[in-house]
Amino acid sequence: MKKQAVVLVSGGLDSATVLSMAQAQGYECHTLSFDYGQKHNAELQAAQRVIDAQKPASHRVMSIHLDAFGGSALTDSSMSVPETESDGIPNTYVPARNTIFLSFALGLAEVVGAHDIFIGVNAVDYSGYPDCRPAFIEAYEALANLATKEGVEGRPFTIHAPLIEMTKGEIIQAGTNLGVDYAATVTCYQANAQGEACGRCDACRLRHQGFLDAGVQDPTRYVEGFEWSNV
Amino acid sequence: MKKQAVVLVSGGLDSATVLSMAQAQGYECHTLSFDYGQKHNAELQAAQRVIDAQKPASHRVMSIHLDAFGGSALTDSSMSVPETESDGIPNTYVPARNTIFLSFALGLAEVVGAHDIFIGVNAVDYSGYPDCRPAFIEAYEALANLATKEGVEGRPFTIHAPLIEMTKGEIIQAGTNLGVDYAATVTCYQANAQGEACGRCDACRLRHQGFLDAGVQDPTRYVEGFEWSNV
């Protein structure tokens, strides 16, 4: 039997790259996406396009209503997404998001017999998010091996975060070499219903700069009238 | 402002006791229950009765469909709950359940400004479940303080598991002293729609023995015709 992995897929550029990396390493991949009340449903449609293109062994979408908690500009309709760079932890931080996502991935890994979990966190561009840092990933792996039947019985889990120290340009270069179709992905924090990006939020700026740095043409679909040459 | 806590409430005897302990310690409590596709919906009704009786500051029920994963007799309709004691990790183990529950509790704690999370895990009766052991709770606390804005900014979280080393009899004695109404709670793994317990599963046996050990009359409602004297 091929070795099994669980891969978190958001519909963004990073997780599409991670999925292609896991597949290139020979893993049979079980993907997991989340409907967590995010304002930009374009994300889930993008995840489905990534799945259609990269064809993992299984795919599940879990509905978890983090919007019931509030506290983030990504889920709380009373908060707006910032269009300027901010210091410290941005208000687009969703409380405990990656902790929650990894916990579901861990449960699924136990059920499908996987000992490898892949997540596309990145500490370079998202240094303001505590749950994107190497120390968090290490602590999660330690937890996973105490939390589970497999872990305590000596068949440990590995949490793979292959992008964690890569720049956006390096990620795009790596994914392009593996054949990832980035036109399928959506990164924008406030993409519209057609999946078109705003070009103005932090996420759009980081993504576009990544394509420039990688020397790859930016395939992103932006809202009508938007041109980087006018920014 | 009173100190805030998040308390996980399942509708069982243990978490009702934990809630009363947190309240007795002066915490304003925000409770969290989960609809995770468990076969016994009686659990959620019991949680509501506990909430009605103990009146925390806020209460939320999160729907998370762990039944989409399968792998446990508690959520998978193709598996049956064992009626005899089993060695090792029982098939009623739900993959990563407490890890997932604590992750939601952590997210809610960040939003409501709590630094204290209470969970009713018990290592005495449930030694077969890895996520009920002290090492798991310690690892989770370490993770929480790396995973969150509050944690990394030096305002750490404490995961309280006050029952972890107590026997069921001791738990019932403590809760009785705090005025917990155990008739509201349901422990049975296969309670019926009216919340009546089977009297035959591991959970029923442990609970009944607890009342005997505590010298407290067992207020549990059992299915018609069931009598401990006939067992």
pLDDT of chain B along its 231 residues, tens only? Answer: 899 999 999 999 999 999 999 999 999 999 999 988 766 678 899 999 999 999 999 999 988 877 777 655 555 555 555 454 444 555 556 788 899 999 999 999 998 999 999 999 998 876 678 999 999 999 999 999 999 989 999 999 999 999 999 999 999 999 999 999 999 999 998 888 888 999 998 889 999 999 999 999 999 999 999 999 887
Q: Which long-range contacts (CB under 8 A, 24 or more apart) does A204-207 make?
A: A206/A125, A206/A168, A207/A13, A207/A168
The pLDDT tens digits of the residues spanning A30-48 come to 999 998 876 667 889 999 9
Closest residue of A to B127, CA-based? A149
Nearest to A182 by CA among A11, A39, A56, A10: A11
**A–B CB contacts, 8 A cutoff, strictly below:** 137
Q: Which residue of B has its CA nearest to A142?
A: B139
Alpha-carbon span B167 to B171, nearest angstrom: 6
Any A CB within 8 A of B134 CB: no
Q: The whole model's pTM is what?
A: 0.89
pLDDT band with cut points at 50, 70 and 90 for residue A75: low
How many CB atoms within 10 Å of residue A142? 18
DSSP letters for B142-209 = HHHHHHSHHHHTT---EEE-TTTT--HHHHHHHHHHTT--GGG----TT--TT--B-S-SHHHHHHHH
Q: How far apart are CA B109 and CA B7, in angstroms?
A: 10
**A139 interfaces chain B, CB cutoff of 8 Å:** yes
State residue B85's pLDDT score: 47
Are A62 and B63 in contact (CB < 8 Å)? no
SS3 A50: helix
Q: What is the mean pLDDT of residues A77-89?
A: 51
Cα atoms in the 13 Å half-sphere on the side-chain side of B230: 7
Q: Which residues pair with B22 in a beta bridge?
A: none
What pLDDT shows up at residue B93? 60
Using the Cβ of B212 and the Cβ atoms of chain A, whether some distance falls under 8 Å is answered with no
d(CA A112, CA B146) in angstroms, rounded, equals: 28
Q: Which residue has the tokens 């089977």?
A: B198
Tokens coding A176:
């392009």
Domains (range + CATH), chain A: 4-230 (3.40.50.620)
Binary contact (A110, B89; C-beta < 8 A) = no
Give the integer Cα–Cα distance in Å for B188 and B220.
10
> ipTM value of the model?
0.88
Structure tokens that stand for A215 in this block:
């020397």
> Which residues lie below 8 Å from residue B224, measured CB to CB, with a gap of 6+?
B196
CA B47 vs CA A129, B55, B105, B185: distances in Å: 34, 11, 16, 7
* A131 contacts chain B (CB < 8 A): yes
User: Residue A70: what pLDDT?
Assistant: 66
Query: Which residues from chain B sit within 8 angstroms of residue A143, using beta carbons?
Result: 99, 136, 139-140, 142-143
List C-alpha distances in Å: B45 to B23, B140, B180: 21, 28, 17
The band of A63, judged by pLDDT with boundaries at 50, 70 and 90, is confident
- Kindly list the residues from chain A whose CB atom is less than 8 angstroms away from the CB atom of residue B60: 68-69
Contact check, Cβ <8 Å, A140/B136: no
Contacts of B93 in chain A (CB under 8 A): 149
Interface of B with A in 95-114 (CB under 8 A): 95-100, 102-104, 106-108, 110-111
Residue A143: HSE in the Cβ half-sphere, 13 Å Cα cutoff: 30
Residue A72 has pLDDT above 60, yes or no: no
Q: Please give the pLDDT value at position B37.
A: 75
Amino acid at residue number B186: V
State the DSSP string of A110-123.
Answer: HHHT--EEE----T
Task: Mean pLDDT check: name the lowest of A7-21, A113-127, A143-157.
Answer: A113-127
- For the record, the structure tokens of B162 come out as 């006050």
pLDDT tens for each residue of A202-217: 889 999 999 999 999 9
User: Which residues of chain A form beta strands (DSSP E)?
Assistant: 4-8, 28-35, 58-63, 116-118, 158-160
CA distance B28 to B23: 7
At A85 the pLDDT is 47
Q: What are phi and psi of B173, to 5 degrees?
A: -65, -45
CA distance B99 to A176: 36
- Chain A, nearest residue to B108 by Cα: A69
